[in-house]
């Protein structure tokens, strides 16, 4: 699967990359505006890649076609989803990582980020990728493929830094689902941190500052 992307080149020589996935119904432009708000040092040479999810029917939205990384079948707490879609979309993210590596960027200088469905893709892909990555930002999300991870996890990313953040009042993805993912990953000894904010299914300025700190910590 070849994914269309919106890209923001670095202001100094390209040495690091962030691949950031949007949520259901959004597109690659959704988080474009966050880049200047992160106030990242120009000398980090970060190239931002914002892929567009494929357009497909989404069951919970009456079968309407929209950008979606995977189909959501119901609105239960853990949301029944089309698992095959997640694996298919993940292959598209693999190709984007490889594209950055083909430019000469080391895998350890590539970070995956995502919001909501995009966060699922960041976690699912990053924890299975065959080369060590810099880190994973998982925002307002959960992990429906958690059970499969026990046999599919990559030894190369067993020590990958992970930051999860979630709104206490999220009506879209219940915070309990996010905490379950966090707790299970912590039990598997991943170096993961949890951040909770008094908000709904969104980002806040305090969280954006934390994201900036995390990115800079993994891109030393």
Q: Which of 116, 124, 140, 166 is catalytic?
A: 116
Distance CA 38, CA 20 (A): 14
> 71 catalytic, yes or no?
no
Residue 77 has pLDDT above 70, yes or no: no
**How many beta carbons lie within 10 A of that of residue 33, not counting itself?**
8
Residue 79 has pLDDT above 90, yes or no: no
Q: Which of 30, 71, 85, 170 is catalytic?
A: 170
- pLDDT at site 75: 74
Distance CA 216, CA 44 (A): 8
5-16 average pLDDT score: 97
User: Six-digit token pair at 175?
Assistant: 């915070």
- Provide the CA 106 distance to its chain's centre, in angstroms: 19
Residue 76 has pLDDT above 80, yes or no: no
34-58 average pLDDT score: 97
> 42 catalytic, yes or no?
no
At 156-194, the pLDDT tens digits run 999 999 999 999 999 999 999 999 999 999 999 999 999
Residue 214 has pLDDT above 90, yes or no: yes
Residue 198 has pLDDT above 80, yes or no: yes
List residues bridging with 193 in a β-sheet. 163
Q: Nearest 5 degrees, angle CA 192-CA 197-CA 200? A: 115
Beta strands in 5-103 (DSSP E): 5-8, 16-21, 46-51, 55-58, 64-67
Q: Nearest 5 degrees, angle CA 91-CA 164-CA 112? A: 30
87-92 average pLDDT score: 98
**How many beta carbons lie within 10 A of that of residue 140, not counting itself?**
27
Q: Nearest 5 degrees, angle CA 183-CA 187-CA 189? A: 120
What letters, b where the CB count within 10 A reaches 16 and e where it falls short, cover 166-200? Answer: bbeebeebbbebbebbbebbeeeebebebebbebe
Residue 86 has pLDDT above 90, yes or no: yes
Distance CA 191, CA 155 (A): 14
Report the percentage of the chain scoring pLDDT > 70.
Answer: 99
Domains and CATH numbers, the chain: 5-55+84-218 (3.40.50.1820)
Q: How confident is the model at residue 1 (pLDDT cuts 50, 70, 90)?
A: confident
Q: Which of 131, 201, 202, 212 is catalytic?
A: 201
Q: How confident is the model at residue 142 (pLDDT cuts 50, 70, 90)?
A: very high
Could you tell me the pTM of the whole model?
0.97
> 85 catalytic, yes or no?
no
Residue 140 has pLDDT above 90, yes or no: yes
At 112-126, the pLDDT tens digits run 999 999 999 999 999
- pLDDT at site 84: 96
């Amino acid at each position: 699967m070849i994914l269309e992307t919106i890209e923001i080149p670095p202001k100094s020589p390209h040495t690091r990359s962030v691949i950031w996935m949007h949520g259901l119904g959004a597109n690659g432009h959704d988080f474009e505006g966050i880049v200047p708000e992160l106030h990242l040092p120009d000398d980090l040479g970060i190239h931002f890649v914002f892929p567009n999810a494929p357009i497909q029917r989404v069951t919970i939205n009456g079968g309407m076609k929209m950008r979606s990384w995977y189909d959501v079948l119901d609105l239960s707490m853990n949301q029944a989803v089309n698992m095959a879609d997640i694996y298919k979309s993940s292959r598209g993210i693999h190709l984007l990582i490889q594209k950055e590596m083909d430019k000469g960027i080391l895998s350890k200088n590539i970070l995956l980020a995502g919001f909501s469905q995009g966060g699922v893709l960041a976690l699912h892909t990053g924890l299975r990728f065959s080369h060590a990555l810099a880190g994973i930002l998982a925002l307002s999300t959960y992990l429906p493929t958690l059970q499969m991870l026990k046999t599919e996890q990559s030894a190369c990313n067993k020590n990958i830094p992970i930051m999860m953040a979630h709104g206490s009042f999220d009506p879209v993805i219940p915070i309990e689902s996010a905490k379950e993912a966090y707790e299970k990953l912590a039990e598997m000894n991943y170096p993961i941190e949890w951040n909770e904010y008094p908000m709904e299914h969104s980002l806040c300025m305090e969280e954006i500052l934390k994201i900036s700190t995390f990115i800079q910590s993994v891109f030393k």
